[in-house]
Amino acid sequence: MEKSEIQKVDQVIRAWLEDEPLMYERLLEVEALDALPQVLGPLYKFLGRSRIHDGVLYLTFNSSVVRSQLSNNKAELLLRLNTAVGAELIRQIVFL
């Protein structure tokens, strides 16, 4: 292998996963869920359960006040999560 061909392992894996759409989408879903603490900040401690299914992020909060506050900022939350992942993965957010 020549020096010009050397790539980081994560770049090689990501390039391979981009050719496998289902696996790549699942990787992005995991990355989005991992980004929740950063995106939600101190409100993350009120998060109960979270999951993504067919581009919809389902979030359960232990506080109705937090749920109400975030429901007013759904568009911003959606933008921040998709930016953190680097793809338009999440189309909708549902608070349960």
How confident is the model over 22-77, as pLDDT tens digits? 888 898 999 999 999 999 999 999 999 999 999 999 999 999 999 999 999 999 99
Range of the domain at 28: 3-95
Contacts of 35 (CB under 8 A, 6+ apart): 81, 84, 85
CATH code, 20:
3.30.300
**pLDDT for position 2:** 56
Provide the domain count of the chain. Answer: 1
**pLDDT for position 27:** 87
pLDDT band at 16 (very low <50, low <70, confident <90, very high): confident
pTM of the model: 0.81
